[in-house]
Every structure is written in structure tokens, then in C-alpha cells.
């Protein structure tokens, strides 16, 4: 309910306002409940979740503090909401996200009596600042992810297949209580390690090849994100040299993470080191992104970002160098912005060499 009140404070400037939530993660954030059709938050009146029959009983049990409205077979959801909007006498309705078709449909049903505006950013203002309870779950998600990485270092050997490594990592995270993976596990070896989203295939890892392992555990809906780059067998001098640049870039950027830091400056701290080493054009993405209920959230850490870090932000720090035909390097941790020093939720395993 605190979250709803916070939303009302930033969303409702005057009377007769309402907020309609369609995004599934926003609904989860406000209600703690999955599988809803939408959530209506009026300035005055009961906060209401709309849910189809399939998830009705679960919502009744879990969406505490909300009216639970069943959307019956054959009932039109948009029509049903429009009726309630009129009943609540809402004149200004903000919506977090809508497809063009649903927007047009809802606008038509409201017949100009209610003004409709898309205001997705408002919910992000709330979601990007995690409270202590959220940070606790994300810390645990980070621990589970780190455990997965420990296993990656243990099992990566010449001859092992990429998907076998993924299987061992995910199994280890599950055994420690993980709820699932935060995104599709990446174990990309050889030339495919040069693709930041190289996936995970049937390919066997060969001795001396670079392997980019990018993994994340989910815990109570909260996610984590961690990447390490390692070599099965003995790394070459060139591999070591480039790895050290990426590792240094990551560490330097991490040192600049603090409240009020400009996201663009944190990106620049890493980019400068890669630039000085002559690899600037091979760092083909931003330095990082927020993490939370989703794996990609605000704030964004990139050269173009206008974001400023705030206490309670959780972001990734993940510089990379990708050489097509040779291989890729990325080192990533999930990091929380705290009052003093930033806190790493994922940590350790910074060696380029897999266990021998």
C-alpha cells in the first residue's frame, strides 16, 4: 500500500485522477500478485484488480487490500474498466503502457469524458529505488547467481558442451533455492563469445577458447545479472592483455558508483580505459542497466544517459570488448547504490582461467 500511496503522490496533481496499470511487472510491484489483467487505482474509491477466471481464486488470496473483480467469459475487459472509471468519476486517467489498439479502444469507450495519458515513467520513478526488503531479496538473488558462477568455473573444461555448462549452473542455483533464471543463460564460446548475446548451443568448448558466461538467478521475483569471461585451458598473452583492460574498466567504473553520480560519467570511467587501450570501437554497448523485477530497467548507464544514481538503485557494471573472429570479453556485476560505498550483489571469480 505504501507503493500505491507513493504513486498517488507523484501521479495525482489534482482531484478526480486515476491510474491504470497494464504492465505485468508494474502490477506485480503494486499488488504482489501475478496473472492479473489490470489494476485500477482511483484517487477516491477502492483500488481494484481485474482478473480472468483462471487466476481469480489465487488473486482473491494474494492481492491483499484490493477489490478483486472477475472478468467473466465473454466480458470485454476494456468496456468493464471504462464503466468503473466513470463510476469513480475519474476525469484524468494516466496509464502505464498500452498497445495502440487498446489505447484507441479505451479512448473510444471513455467518449472524451476522461482524459487519457500514457505515463509509464512515473512507475519507473518508484521501481528504480529499491527499499530494504527488495534489496534483501536482490542480495540473495546475487548470492545464488554467484554460486552458479562458482560452478561455471568448476565445470568449464575442454570438451564440455555449452548447454551442459548451462545445465550445471542452473541446477546449482536451483538447489540453493533459486526461483528460476533471470534471463536465458549465455554460455558462448569461441568466435560466438564475440557476440554480446551469443546464447548457448550444442557446441563443445575447445582448449584455449574464450567462454563468456552471463547468468542470473531469480529470487522471489527479483533478478540478478553477472558475467565472467574465462578460458578452458591456458589463456594466451593477447587474451590476458585484453581481459585485464576489461577487468580494470569494470573496477574503475565500480569505484565511481555512488549517490548522485551521473550515469554518463560512470560509463565514461570505464570507456576511458578501453579507449586508452585502443579498443573503444569494440565496446559496442552501454556500461550497464538497472535490475529489479525485470532484468533491464532504469537507470541506464551509457554515454547518452541523463540519469543520476540514487540510493536504492541497483545497476549492472559490465564493460566488454568484442573482437569478431577472435572472441569476446565481458565482466559484469550487479551493484546496489548505498549511502556509503556501493554494494556488490554478485562478486568474486575474477580469474580468466577456469579451475584446473
Q: Which stretch binds a copy of itself (CB under 8 A): 24-32, 145-153, 168-176, 237-245?
A: 168-176
| Nearest distance, CB of residue 62 and a copy of itself, angstroms | 9
Among the listed residues 5, 13, 74, 260, the single contact to a copy of itself using CB under 8 A: 74
Q: Closest approach of Cβ 349 to a copy of itself, in Å?
A: 21
Q: Give every CB contact of residue 309 below 8 A, 6+ residues apart in sequence.
A: 257, 258, 259, 260, 261, 262, 263, 266, 299, 315, 337
Q: Beta partners for 270?
A: none
Smallest gap from residue 173 Cβ to a copy of itself (A): 8
Q: Residue 113 Cβ, how far from a copy of itself at the closest point, in Å?
A: 19
- The answer to whether 17 touches 90, Cβ cutoff 8 Å, is yes
Q: Is the distance from CB of 221 to CB of 179 less than 8 angstroms?
A: yes
- Using the rule CB under 8 A, is 324 a contact of a copy of itself? yes
> How far is the C-alpha of 261 from the C-alpha of 37, rounded, in Å?
38
Work out how close the CB of 18 gets to a copy of itself at its nearest, in angstroms, rounded to a whole number.
Answer: 17
Cα(230)–Cα(351) distance, rounded to whole angstroms?
A: 7
d(CA 38, CA 154): 45
Q: Which residues between 95 and 114 bind a copy of itself (CB under 8 A)?
A: 97-104
Contacts (CB under 8 A) with a copy of itself, residues 183-222: 184-185, 194-200, 202
Query: Helix, strand, or coil here: 219?
Result: strand
Asked if 339 touches a copy of itself (CB under 8 A), the answer is: no
**32 sits near a copy of itself (criterion: CB under 8 A):** no
List Cα–Cα distances, 64 to 35, 38, 163, 249, in angstroms: 15, 15, 41, 46
Stretch that binds a copy of itself, among 2-10, 131-139, 173-181, 203-211 (CB under 8 A): 173-181
Beta strand pairing status for 67-71 and 48-52? parallel
User: Do 188 and 200 contact (CB within 8 A), yes or no?
Assistant: yes
Residues in 218-277 at the binding interface with a copy of itself, rule: CB under 8 A: none
Output 105 or 256, the one with its CB closest to a copy of itself.
Answer: 105
Q: Of the listed pieces 37-45, 53-61, 148-156, 237-245, which binds a copy of itself according to CB under 8 A?
A: 53-61
Query: Least distance in Å: CB of 227 to a copy of itself?
Result: 13
Residue 316 found at the interface with a copy of itself (CB under 8 A): no
Length reported for the chain: 356
Question: Do 128 and 292 form a contact (C-beta atoms < 8 A)?
Answer: yes
Residues 109-148 that bind a copy of itself (CB under 8 A): 118
> Which are the contacts of 145, defined by CB distance < 8 A and separation ≥ 6?
173, 182, 215, 216, 217, 224, 225, 226, 334, 345, 346
Q: Can you give the binding site for a copy of itself, defined by CB under 8 A?
A: 34-35, 52-58, 73-74, 97-104, 118, 163-164, 166-167, 170-171, 174-175, 177-181, 184-185, 194-200, 202, 284-285, 303-304, 322, 324
Amino acid at each position: 500500500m505504501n507503493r500505491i500511496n507513493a504513486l498517488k503522490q507523484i501521479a495525482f496533481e489534482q482531484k478526480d485522477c486515476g491510474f491504470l496499470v497494464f504492465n505485468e511487472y508494474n502490477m506485480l510491484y503494486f499488488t504482489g500478485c501475478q496473472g492479473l489483467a489490470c489494476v485500477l487505482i482511483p484517487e477516491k474509491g477502492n483500488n481494484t484488480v481485474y482478473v480472468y477466471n483462471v487466476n481469480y481464486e489465487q488473486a482473491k488470496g494474494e492481492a491483499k487490500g484490493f477489490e478483486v473483480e472477475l472478468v467473466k467469459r465473454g466480458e470485454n475487459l476494456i468496456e468493464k474498466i471504462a464503466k468503473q472509471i466513470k463510476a469513480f468519476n475519474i476525469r484524468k486517467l494516466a496509464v502505464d503502457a498500452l498497445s495502440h489498439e487498446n489505447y484507441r479502444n479505451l479512448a473510444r469507450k471513455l467518449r472524451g469524458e476522461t482524459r487519457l495519458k500514457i505515463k509509464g515513467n512515473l512507475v519507473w520513478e518508484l521501481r528504480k529505488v529499491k527499499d530494504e526488503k527488495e534489496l534483501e531479496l536482490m542480495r540473495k538473488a546475487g548470492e545464488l547467481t554467484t554460486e552458479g558462477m562458482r560452478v561455471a568455473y568448476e565445470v568449464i573444461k575442454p570438451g564440455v558442451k555449452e548447454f551442459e555448462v548451462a545445465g550445471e549452473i542452473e541446477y546449482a542455483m536451483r538447489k540453493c533455492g533459486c526461483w528460476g533464471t533471470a534471463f536465458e543463460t549465455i554460455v558462448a564460446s569461441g568466435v560466438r563469445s564475440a557476440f554480446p548475446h551469443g546464447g548457448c548451443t550444442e557446441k563443445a568448448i575447445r582448449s584455449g577458447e574464450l567462454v563468456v558466461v552471463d547468468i542470473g538467478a531469480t529470487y522471489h521475483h527479483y533478478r540478478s545479472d553477472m558475467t565472467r569471461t574465462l578460458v578452458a585451458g591456458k589463456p594466451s598473452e593477447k587474451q590476458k592483455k585484453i581481459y585485464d583492460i576489461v577487468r580494470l574498466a569494470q573496477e574503475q567504473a565500480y569505484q565511481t558508483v555512488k549517490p548522485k553520480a551521473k550515469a554518463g560519467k560512470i560509463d565514461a570511467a570505464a570507456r576511458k580505459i578501453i579507449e586508452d587501450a585502443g579498443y573503444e570501437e569494440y565496446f559496442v554497448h552501454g556500461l550497464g542497466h538497472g535490475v529489479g523485477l525485470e532484468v533491464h530497467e532504469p537507470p541506464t548507464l551509457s554515454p547518452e544517459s541523463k540519469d543520476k544514481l540514487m540510493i536504492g538503485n541497483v545497476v549492472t557494471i559490465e564493460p566488454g570488448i568484442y573482437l569478431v573472429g577472435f572472441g569476446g570479453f565481458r565482466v559484469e556485476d550487479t551493484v546496489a547504490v548505498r549511502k556509503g560505498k556501493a554494494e556488490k550483489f554478485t562478486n568474486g571469480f575474477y580469474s580468466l582461467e577456469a579451475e584446473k
